[in-house]
Amino acid sequence: MASTKRQLSEEWIPNSTNTMTPHHFVSSPRVVLNQADCDLDFNVESDGLVGYGLHDQGFAYCWSAARANVGITRGRYCFGCKIVSLQQVPMEDTDFEERHICRLGISRGDDMLGELGETKYSFGYDGTGKFSHEEKSSDYGKRFGVGDTIVCCIDLEGKPMASIGFSKNGKWLGTALHFFPSPLGLGVVDSPLKDFQWKSALFPHVLLKNVVVKMQFSLEDGLVPQEGFKPWASAIEDRNIIMGPAFSDQSNCEVIMMVGLPASGKTTWAEKWVEEHPEKRYALLGTKLILDKMKLNDCGERFDRLMDQVTGVFNVLLTRAAIIPRNYIIDQTNVHKNARKHKLKPFADYQKIAVVVFPKPEELKVRCDKRFKETGKKVPPDSLKNMIANYVLPKSMDMPNSDEYFDQVKFVELNRDESQMYLDQMKQDRTSISNTSSSQLQCSDSFHSLAGSPLQNQESFTGGVNHGQGIHSQIHPSNYWMPSQVNTNVHVVDQHHGSMNSFSEVYPGSQIPPVPLAPSPCGRYPINRNEANEAFPISNAATMPFDYHRSYNDNSGFQRHLQTPSSATPDSVSPFGIPKPSSRPPDVSFPDYKPYPGFTPQRPRYY
């Protein structure tokens, strides 16, 4: 099934707040998954009903979510979700029943997509039989899996409390929970409308992990309503709806790029900015986002192993972001000018803002110590020296001799002159760092203790500290097959320091049509083909630009060897007693996905 570009339905016209009330109807809208209200790695097929997340490599560990485009504020309505298939994923370190999970329910329009059932404003029932609300789960119904249809029923007419319940394959499972929908509770019934009206309604919501689903919002979609409840689409005729958020024009969107050394306070500033500007609906792109999607909260061996997947996941999300009109914050170190330019080039029509976080050295020392105590992560001194040596404060386009793309540059701590003064001092003093032990350093009272700070953000995500310049790689369609999309992965090794610079220009996702994008931001680096073939046991290994064995073994700080991917395959039978189906829905047709079998991108442990 071909995919369509993420766009607004022509059946309705949004008002100035990107919402829709009954007075704004041109004709009846159709209830579908909202492509403007889903995760970057969530694919919506052209009918608007079939949805699934990316599942290759690191995405296999990520949850991916979407809401419908129509919410309600009153009435008794229901919608269905059929589990179409499980996606094939190599996750030998994860129990089979934890590899494929579907959670469905409702949430308020301003709630976090990836936290269905974990907040005050959302409720979820998943394939393990658990019902979740406010981070509390309880045994509710039976497990469900491939072939099952779950119907979620919402009663907002109950007095004094509303209720939510589910049915499985037509059998009612009972009321899962009563709740207050009034201003003292969810704030959707008999409540004043918020500044953006979709913040005042409840929407169908699915949260998936390696599962393909098909939604049912109307009789035409195959929905069999539970007795006493109307199909969700009937709320349109009843004039009980509020439309969800919609896309803006790219010229009205902005991308904020954080700039600063590790532990300088970039993530703290970015998270506060997002909280203070909910109307912008920023997507915060960084390591924390990916770890949240993986729902990792331990620091054991599995955590370190999955961190190796983060770079690849981030690069895919960044590339998709450039063609999906939203507001973004790129939370990386971004100290290298060429990295900033190459990363921002695809965002040509966006407003581009650099936010520089440059504290005084003594304050940076305090934050460094705090980060080290919290994470235990340390930055190899060679990496920090290279970062400082290549640190260039960003300039806006209107500044003399500027060749960067920023419309604005904001200094949120020290001003530009003060930042430049301290940066010059650091560049002069970095020779002192080289006299320190080449092993990982802990923070000390010395100004040069920066070498031991835990790395808050990965420069390798943004291209590392050294870049190949002036040469663009070609796109190879065979490298990444998803509907209508291709990719090219480019990595560069710094021979002098053994550091890894990683770019991955990936264009996956069935909902985004082929569009011309900027070429890969750095050229291919010549490598030893014998080593490449050993590191990449695939048929097209000769096209791979990066030699992981040499990258890690040449640097005394990175004595890590490439882990050989396991050839084991998942169990052939699902936990539901059904033979594992195809990784795509039978009614959806797209080219076979051809990743590098078993390939897991590696990266330095200190990120």
- How confident is the model over 511-522, as a mean pLDDT? 39
Give the residue, 435 or 358, on which the prediction is more confident: 358
| pLDDT value, residue 276 | 94
Q: Which amino acid is at 90?
A: P
Q: Looking at the predicted structure, is the pLDDT value of residue 299 above 70?
A: no
> Which residues, other chains included, contact 327 with Cβ-Cβ below 8 Å and sequence gap of 6+?
253, 254, 255, 256, 280, 281, 282, 283
Tens digits of residue pLDDT in 433-463:
455 444 343 433 333 434 333 333 333 333 3
Q: Looking at the predicted structure, is the pLDDT value of residue 194 above 70?
A: yes
| pLDDT value, residue 307 | 73
| pLDDT value, residue 604 | 38
Contact status, residue 365 vs residue 449, Cβ threshold 8 Å: yes
Q: To the nearest whole number, what is the mean pLDDT of the chain?
A: 74
- SS3 for 427-479 is HHHHHHHHCCCCCCCCCCCCHHHHHHCCCCCCHHHHCCCCCCCCCCCCCEHHH
CA separation for the pair 116, 125 (Å, rounded): 9
- How confident is the model over 18-39, as a mean pLDDT? 70
Range among 107-116, 366-375, 482-491 rated most confident: 107-116
Tens digits of residue pLDDT in 133-149:
998 999 998 999 999 99
pLDDT-derived band of residue 429, with 50, 70 and 90 as boundaries?
A: confident
Q: Residue 603 corresponds to which tokens in the numbers above?
A: 């990266």
Task: Using alpha carbons, select from 498, 260, 500, 497 the residue that is nearest to residue 371.
Answer: 260
Tens digits of residue pLDDT in 314-344:
999 999 999 999 999 999 999 999 999 999 9
Tens digits of residue pLDDT in 30-57:
999 999 999 999 999 989 999 999 999 8
| pLDDT value, residue 27 | 57
pLDDT-derived band of residue 385, with 50, 70 and 90 as boundaries?
A: confident
Contact status, residue 370 vs residue 424, Cβ threshold 8 Å: no
| pLDDT value, residue 95 | 82
| pLDDT value, residue 301 | 57
DSSP 329-375: EE-S---BHHHHHHHHTT-TTSEEEEEE----HHHHHHHHHHHHHHH
- How confident is the model over 600-604, as a mean pLDDT? 43
Tens digits of residue pLDDT in 71-109:
999 999 999 999 999 999 988 778 888 899 999 999 999
| pLDDT value, residue 213 | 98
Q: How many CA atoms lie within 13 A of 213 on its CB side?
A: 37
Tens digits of residue pLDDT in 146-189:
999 999 999 999 988 999 999 999 999 999 999 999 888 888 98
Domains and CATH numbers, the chain: 34-243 (2.60.120.920), 250-462 (3.40.50.300)
Q: For tokens 């509390």, what's the residue?
A: 136
Q: For tokens 């260039």, what's the residue?
A: 392
pLDDT-derived band of residue 302, with 50, 70 and 90 as boundaries?
A: low
pLDDT-derived band of residue 545, with 50, 70 and 90 as boundaries?
A: very low
Q: Looking at the predicted structure, is the pLDDT value of residue 346 above 80?
A: yes
